[in-house]
Structure 1
């Protein structure tokens, strides 16, 4: 069963890369905005609660298969590194989620209890590390598999966006 879920996740990852396994940068304009002032640091507990809430909200959108709401959590300059599928950017990641939800319409994700770790990144945001479990039904039976991830969140003007994802151990 683990191999089936791994295959689904691999399909997602592969669709998040170009034919040659390289990402194409997403163009957002010719000028870059000036760097934002560093946000007021949160306490360790506030940061943990903020990231835990963001994880819950983001994966509620994943479980609802709402691609647009899900992608609102990712920055335009997203880099998504996948151990099986390589490197993908924002557009490729969106295409990958769309394809995954079409090919596996009952797929769900849960955070494995007790695995969430949150660390501050000075003058930037936070690192979000955990194990997640993806499940879907295949041949009348639940098929599930775990993988690990690291997400780097950037806080700007009170908004949190994921700029980097490392997904591994599939």
Structure 2
């Protein structure tokens, strides 16, 4: 019985150290990057969105396919989400779902859930829910997203 308890304590300790605490600077930095990206995204400021992604970003979307490069990502956002008169999309992070993990000598991984709202004819409605994983790199004093997995898109829960 003592061996089982010791094993459970070791596993629990390992699990608690894997994820960054919400009070850590790494967690705060990565969440701030996410906020900056989606503040610009929600305003359809595609030029600002572009600076938060590496030039060689790979964006994998379960419904939209693959987009390669920051320029292509900004153009796709502009043409597909920001060009319809009287229609707007807004992404909202679910803060309680966010997990941040250190990637030694690179940056961090951020996972979480987000909701999407559509405004049409002046009325905003909750439209969808999805999961995401971002690989974030800290290089030359700044954070950028280098890889995105956006998946499990479906109705809002």
TM value normalised by structure 2: 0.75
| 1:129 corresponds to 2:111 | yes
What is the deviation of 1:48?
0.5
Runs of 4+ in 1 over 3 A off after TM superposition: 138-141
Tell me whether 1:107 sits opposite 2:86 in the alignment. no
Aligned length: 128
**RMSD after superposition:** 1.8
Match of 1:96 among 62, 68, 76: 76
* Cross-structure match for 1:78: 57
Structure 1 residues 141, 125: CA separation in 2 closer, same or farther (over 3 Å shift)? closer
Decide which moves more: 135-144 or 120-129. Answer: 135-144
Per-residue CA deviation, residues 39-88 of structure 1 (Å, 9 max, x unaligned), is xxxx8511111111111111111111100001110001111111122211
Give the distance between the partners of 2:99 and 2:124, measured in 1 at CA.
31
- In the aligned structure 2, how far is the partner of 1:71 from the partner of 1:50? 18
Following superposition, the deviation at residue 132 of structure 1 comes to: 0.9
Give the CA deviation at 1:105. 4.1
Q: Name the structure where helix makes up a greater proportion of residues.
A: 2
Distance 1:133 1:115, change over 3 A: same
Which is greater in Rg?
2
Once the two structures are superposed, the pairs formed by residues 39-78 of structure 1 within 5 Å of their partners are 45-78=24-57
**CA-to-partner distance for each residue in 1:5-61, whole Å, 9 max, x for gaps?**
xxxxxxxxxxxxxxxxxxxxxxxxxxxxxxxxxxxxxx8511111111111111111
1:141 Cα deviation (Å)?
Answer: 5.6
Gaps in structure 2 of 5+ consecutive residues: 1-19
The separation in 1 between residues aligned to 2:124 and 2:28, in whole angstroms, is: 35
Q: Which residue of 1 aligns with 2:134?
A: 151
